[in-house]
Amino acid sequence: MFNRVIQKPGLYDIIRQVDGKLSIGRFQNLPDMSVNSSICPTAAFLGPHADNHNILTELANEVLASIVDFRTGIWEGPSLYEDKEHKQSVQDLKHRFKGLLAYLEEHSTPFSSLRYLAHMTGDQLLPALAAYYAGMIYNSNNVTIQASTATTLLEMLTMRDLCDMVGFTRRPMFFDETSGIPDHMADPWAHITSDGSIANIEAVWSARESKLLPFAALEALTHNPDLKKAANLKVLTCDQRKVKLVDAEPWELWNLTRDERLLIPFHIAKLLGLKMEDTYQIWEILTHYDINAKGWQGFSQYFYDHQWPIVLIPSTAHYSWPKSVAVMGLGTGNAQNVMVDEIGRMNLSELRHKLDHALRNKQPILMTVSVFGSTEESAVDPLKGIISLRDEYRLKGLDFDIHVDAAWGGYFISTIRKEFKMEEVPNSMEGVNSLSCHSPFLDDTRQVLLNDYVVDQAKEICQADSITIDPHKMGYVQYPAGTILYKNGDVINLTTFTGTYIGSATDPTVGLFGLEGSRPGAAAAAVYFTHACLRPDYKGYGEVITRSLYNAKQFYAELLFIGHQDQFKTALLMPFDPSNYELVRDKILRKGLDEIRQDEEAMPVFRKLGPDQNIIDYGFNPIHHGVLNNKVDIYNQFTKKVYDKLRIKYDEEGRSQKNTQNQPELMLSMTTFMKKDYGDEFMKSFANQLGLTDTPIPDELNCLRSTIMSPFTSDIKELQHRGSYWPTLMTALADNVAMLVNA
Ligand SMILES: *Cc1c(COP(=O)(O)O)cnc(C)c1O
């Protein structure tokens, strides 16, 4: 019916160079990503006015020519028969298709427009579109290599590439002097998921399975006579003591580090005298005792006073986190909020408080989530601080996994990534050990637009146990394309369920591990080809993303100087240092990126300007007859009005106003911050910015939200227009807001 364990070849062993060419397993002549340079941003997108449509047409025609070749080039056989009925049907098909296209044209949201300053969706990359179309028509299913002989390999290549982007390369192994056992066994592993939510659910699943693995081993050692010889198995507690697993306190077992937990099957194999490569037999035995097999009730005796494991998330976390915890059977109440500071970053003293509470009550912590680019604010959590807190609490006997949710912001890492090619990453362990002193990131980041704090957190992401990165967010790839990355790839032994017909996995495979079954090989083709055209380093993706960040910062600066300031007060969630007012006006506002970069005074200020990434949150508080509004309700209603004016609506007949006289001049999105989630500090700071000062801290505050994804808004001379588009957009915004104040 189903199998749980397969012997899997690792990403790093299986991808190699043979005679200067890339190969995976026995598959040779793979396309590689060793390109010398990335394509430039203006050639990378279809463009706001479909500027590059000729290129897309050409690429799409080539896809069709290729599929015709492919289908006619294999076997001979009868052709379809074109009779009268066939001809009529073709007419019908074309007619109905026109109907679908007309519908899509009327009702779709114009994400690629420079006037779209709203949700986290923008133009898509041309290479992604073309490669997805190709992969889609070739129609492979990346669940098993038997059905996806081409695209499985592309997924493996690209996932190793993504691991390399974040710095998840092979880790050097450290061996225990007496036992000769290494500190970890497996290399990183990654695969594509349909989205970030699935990746996050899988992250909680793998954390749950690995957290309970020591108890599964304990049950197996106690009940399975085949494992008798391993009864003396010792494990290393997180505060560095060796204890016998069968005699350990449950609290000690709850707090083994992830590497230590995942070594247990190897320890057992060694004690039984098995060869290293036969460790999978032990994994197989343990699958009969683990939480996948037994459910939570199988482990109730190991809880202290009904203290269920919790997951700690910042209050800015995406709603997929409570969902993940719900799916894992923990209950949403066990996804516990850690409050954020006034700019939306996790508050470390709140985290410390939660850790102390867990330690006192012997409440296990499955994982702490650190967000790299929150969905509402693009805020970056202090990962470096979270890691040092974990080091500190390990010495007190408390351990937890760390997951980085970089669904939105993962690709920002490319802006600090040195150039790299696939073949430069060593396969041999000697190569790895010599690499360990080499940083994958730029040494000098003074020209990088991310601020120093964000750069510091980005460099630490490779310390996490798992990471979510969505190519379909800041990777500008169309849906669906999420990914999950694991530092210790052995964890996927715990999340594998496969049908017997799927076949053995001595061949390369990616589709068996995780939540999904059938998966589009097209997504792998799209992400692969995009990485081949735009390398995930500072010159490829980094260049596109830098331009988007430059535009986000320009929008932030524009908001400081927006017109009609006598009619409303503008508040920015990310506060501004007023002493820089003149410098921003004279040396940053509407200045070119190169000019700012060359200005030694402006550049450090520009780097710090605005939020951590490219989502700008702001509000307008009306001034009536010279008096600033001081009522929270009035502000909230006003913000709702602004939002309603500046989004696509439908008229009385249900027609989209996009195509009528009333189309909005630009589009924004709106969000609402709640005190119960965000805490006092955050709410108070934003209320102050708005000038809502002598009221109690509001329970709710509406906020306008603009995700700036376009690399072109400030500088579109290569496309149809010349110069910056911000003046047009800002005049429209200011006029609309002022009009509503006076309405
Ligand atoms: C978008 C997002 C998710 C969820 O990803 P989907 O691909 O939309 O499922 C999770 N976390 C963060 C921070 C996000 O921005």
What is the tens place of the pLDDT at every residue in 472-488?
999 999 999 999 999 99
Query: For the chain, what is the mean pLDDT?
Result: 92
Q: Which residues line ligand 1 (CB under 6 A)?
A: 195-197, 200, 318, 320, 371, 374-375, 405, 407-408, 470, 473, 482
Helix, strand, coil abundance in the chain, percent, nearest 5: 45, 15, 40
pLDDT score for 380: 98
320's tokens: 């997929």
pLDDT score for 495: 92
Q: What is the pLDDT of residues 539-590, one digit of tens each?
A: 999 999 999 999 999 999 999 999 999 999 999 999 999 999 999 999 999 9
Average pLDDT of the segment spanning 420-428 = 65
**Ligand 1 centroid from CA 381, angstroms:** 15
Least confident range of 171-185, 233-247, 627-641, 693-707: 171-185
Do the strands 335-338 and 310-314 form a parallel or antiparallel pair, or are they unpaired?
parallel
Least confident range of 171-180, 440-449, 594-603, 608-617: 171-180
CB neighbour burial string for 121-140, b if at least 16 within 10 angstroms, e if fewer: bbbbbbbbbbbbbbbbebeb
pLDDT band per the 50, 70, 90 thresholds, residue 503? low
374's tokens: 């929150």
pLDDT band per the 50, 70, 90 thresholds, residue 250? very high
Do 236 and 260 contact (CB within 8 A), yes or no? yes
pLDDT band per the 50, 70, 90 thresholds, residue 172? confident
Which ligand 1 atom minimizes the distance to the CA of 198?
A: 9
Nearest CA to 582 out of 551, 555, 561 is that of 561
User: DSSP 3-state assignment of 279?
Assistant: helix
User: DSSP 3-state assignment of 163?
Assistant: helix
pLDDT band per the 50, 70, 90 thresholds, residue 33? confident
Q: Is the pTM of this model over 0.85?
A: yes
Q: At residue 370, what is the residue type?
A: S
Q: At how many degrees (to 10) do helices 196-223 and 320-327 cross? A: 30
Half-sphere exposure of 355 (CA within 13 A, CB side): 25
Q: Is the pLDDT of residue 76 over 90?
A: no
Q: What does each C-alpha distance from 525 to 137, 148, 164, 178, 528 come to in angstroms?
A: 11, 11, 18, 47, 5
580's tokens: 């820089």
Average pLDDT of the segment spanning 485-511 = 80
pLDDT exceeding 70 applies to what percent of the chain?
A: 93
Q: What is the pLDDT of residues 380-407, one digit of tens each?
A: 999 999 999 999 999 999 999 999 999 9
pLDDT band per the 50, 70, 90 thresholds, residue 719? very low
Which ligand 1 atom minimizes the distance to the CA of 371?
A: 13
**Ligand 1 centroid from CA 197, angstroms:** 6
742's tokens: 């006076």
Burial class (CB in 10 A: 0-12, 13-18, 19+), 627: exposed
Measured by CA distance, the residue closest to atom 3 of ligand 1 is 196
CA 129/CA 136 separation, integer angstroms: 10
Ordered by start, the domain boundaries in the chain are 151-533, 545-741
DSSP symbols for 224-272:
-GGGGGGTT-EEE-TTS-EEEGGGS-HHHHHT--HHHHHHHHHHHHHHT
Class of domain 151-533: alpha beta
CA 179/CA 261 separation, integer angstroms: 17
Do 211 and 254 contact (CB within 8 A), yes or no? yes
Half-sphere exposure of 64 (CA within 13 A, CB side): 6
Measured by CA distance, the residue closest to atom 12 of ligand 1 is 407
Q: Is the pLDDT of residue 661 over 80?
A: no
330: which DSSP letter? S
Least confident range of 2-16, 282-296, 388-402, 570-584: 2-16
Residues 6+ apart with CB under 8 A from 663: 648, 657
105's tokens: 């044209």
Which ligand 1 atom minimizes the distance to the CA of 317?
A: 13
283's tokens: 């994994």
pLDDT band per the 50, 70, 90 thresholds, residue 335? very high
pLDDT score for 369: 98
Residues 6+ apart with CB under 8 A from 685: 342, 343, 575
pLDDT score for 540: 95
pLDDT band per the 50, 70, 90 thresholds, residue 674? very high
Q: What is the pLDDT of residues 204-231, one digit of tens each?
A: 999 999 999 999 999 999 999 999 999 9
pLDDT band per the 50, 70, 90 thresholds, residue 718? very low
